[in-house]
A and B are shown apart, each in its own frame.
Chain A
Amino acid sequence: MSRITSVFSQPGHIALIPYITVGYPSIEATLKMVPLLADSGCDIVELGIPFSDPLADGTTIQKASFYALKNGVTPKVCLEVAKQLRQKVDIPLVFMTYFNPVFSYGLEEFCSACNKSGIDGLIIPDLPPEEGSGLELITQRRGLDLIYLLAPTSTDERIRLIAEKSKGFIYLVSVTGVTGVRDKLPTDLEAFVAKVREITTQPLCVGFGISAPEQARQVARIADGVIVGSRIIQLMEDDESMVDVVDFARELRSALDRPNRI
């Protein structure tokens, strides 16, 4: 059982999965933040490797990515940061990035470096399964979970395909759109999750637009995990003490632990 799979083996436990861009607002902040998140009840942390053209991201993560790139955050730096974090935390660490930085690094070399840094999985939003077979072979051989995404537009046929290919969990994109804070959950989310549930028993984690404990609570009633990104990046902007982010993570945790409280 992979470290990610074991997160979902605890009955009734809803996984809390924050996303942070490595090196935003600084590398020190990333090194400090991840252990704090682990201590605040987060189950998996997504570490974003910044890319110059993040076309699945809204303005918040775009801004964080450009800022990190300007500060010299490369895939090598991210691998080094992950290695240091692995000394400090036991929870699964997952890289989220676009395909070109991985392709440029070399698929085999990148996965090998991920192994050495203690990375558990990869999320690559611009790599649908049709293009992923090369990377799948390598990740499987190296014990990395390649996590695929499903969208509200995915057909039954594609849900079956992705359910078969995705490892660790399936990332359900809550809305047709890019990442970013949203006021409300889409009305058709429940139906979307139910449709996927009929087809697969894989753990389902929902992300994109979830930015408040109440939204997390609603998602917890239907999904196995909740992914929160842009709101955390916003809170990190000018919070050197990181108190706000830790408080926010604790609020999310408590919402997920009591999903049926009105």
Chain B
Amino acid sequence: MLPDNKGYFGDYGGRFVPETLVPALNELTEAYEEAKADSTFWAEFDSLSRHYSGRPTPLYLAHGLSKHCGGAQIFLKREDLAHTGAHKINNALGQGLLARRMGKRRIIAETGAGQHGVATAAVCAMLGLQCIIYMGEEDMRRQSLNVFRMKLMGAEVRPVSGGSRTLKDAINEAIRDWVTNPRDSYYLLGSVVGPYPYPSMVRDFQSIIGKETRQQILDEFGRLPDYIIACVGGGSNAIGIFYPFLDDKDVKLIGVEAAGKGLNTGEHAASLAAGSVGVLHGAKSYLLQDGDGQIRETHSVSAGLDYPGVGPEHSYLKDTGRATYVAVSDKEALEGFQLLCRTEGITPALEPAHAIFHAAKMAGSLKKEQIIVVNLSGRGDKDMDIVAEALGVKP
């Protein structure tokens, strides 16, 4: 079972954090292990997943998209229909319940696209917890609608002006807050990144996506899919859907990173496709860095993928070959976005639009009886301004 007791997936993971946080991480690991073994914890998680988040989310056969591509049948795991509009609610709910159980009433979190921030703000409002969200100034500009949503739900949104003013810097600032307030605060990290136990804990909460998918496809077709495709920034929606299929060797797992303006331009966010091993935000993993170990600035049209690192378990899956990782550009993602709007009447977030593009590209060369599942990790309402701008229209 991975990770090992030091939080490693093979060579990746671990805990590269200031001493102040090591005891806090020990406390968190212990509390999570205890909760994990407690059926009442999961009973509450399941109940709220159903009645608050709206789970299970449907697994939808995208007839129009499949017909358009003229090959494999494409299914969409509709995380866009989950409460707050993305898969992020699964993890926010799980960790929110854990924080309350630990008696921590001040929640800090980072957000990129704003989906994790909104999910955290929602869970905090529902559980009566104080909520502080760090968000890069550039992302606040790109995702102003989500900033407003967080504030409506009572969260305090703190702008981060350091570095590239995006997700990476928001995580730095959230960690600085946690170093300052380790005793009374809970850091609700939003992806499968960061020091142990976050990569495995966030995976566990997100693996509900894959468990449902497995059950749904078996119920309907009596067999497992041939391909599962998901976008990868930090990689939580991808791990969430991949994890329950790891032992099913015939199910091919494909992660889709952001190629931004193109891998050869240097303006992208594809840590697995074009990065090298290093340490960022407390874990050893693939990341985008220069020859001196300085973290590079990244670019993606989607704020949620605009991150120079990736979860350590993805690095492990890449090296072992259990999953493969490809990269899709801004332009292609916008094509995927429009394609799903036209063929299905579904507006995806720009993040899964990367996965949609790759699935559509693959489907044509596959046989009709083959099955692709795409994790449609979020809905696109938040991205309307960006898409309009990119397409050169004023909505």
| Size bracket of the B interface | 35 or more
Return chain B residues, CB-CB under 8 Å to A62. 162
A74 and B292 contacting across the interface, CB-CB below 8 Å: yes
Cβ-defined partner of A130 (8 Å) among B20, B22, B23, B294: B22
Cβ-defined partner of B179 (8 Å) among A103, A104, A176: A176
- B176 in the interface (beta carbon within 8 A): yes
Q: Give the A-B contact count at a CB cut-off of 8 A.
A: 116
A128 and B183 contacting across the interface, CB-CB below 8 Å: no
CB distance from B341 to the nearest CB of A (A): 37
Return chain B residues, CB-CB under 8 Å to A51. 293-294
Return chain B residues, CB-CB under 8 Å to A48. none
Q: A149-B18, A153-B24 are in contact. Are A55 and B293 (CB under 8 A)?
A: no
A255 to B17, CA, bound (A): 33
Cβ-defined partner of A128 (8 Å) among B19, B172, B180, B278: B19
Most buried by A among B180, B279, B291, B292: B292
Cβ-defined partner of B289 (8 Å) among A100, A155, A173: A100
B16 and A148 contacting across the interface, CB-CB below 8 Å: no
B291 and A130 contacting across the interface, CB-CB below 8 Å: no
- B123 in the interface (beta carbon within 8 A): no
B19 and A151 contacting across the interface, CB-CB below 8 Å: yes
- B14 in the interface (beta carbon within 8 A): yes
| Size bracket of the A interface | 35 or more
Give the residue name and chain of the B residue nearest to A75 (CB).
B292
- A162 in the interface (beta carbon within 8 A): yes
Cβ-defined partner of A52 (8 Å) among B15, B24, B163, B282: B163
A98 to B18, CA, bound (A): 10
Enumerate 17 A-B pairs (CB-CB under 8 Å) in ascending A order.
A56-B179, A100-B280, A101-B292, A103-B278, A103-B279, A103-B293, A128-B15, A128-B19, A131-B16, A148-B19, A151-B20, A151-B23, A158-B22, A158-B23, A176-B179, A176-B181, A177-B179
A residues contacting B by CB (< 8 A) are 51-56, 58, 62, 66, 69, 74-76, 98-105, 125-128, 130-131, 148-155, 158, 162, 173, 176-178
Beyond contacts A76-B292, A153-B19: 5 other A-B pairs, Cβ-Cβ < 8 A, are A56-B176, A102-B293, A131-B14, A153-B21, A177-B179
B residues contacting A by CB (< 8 A) are 6, 14-24, 162-163, 168-169, 172, 175-176, 179-183, 278-282, 289, 291-295
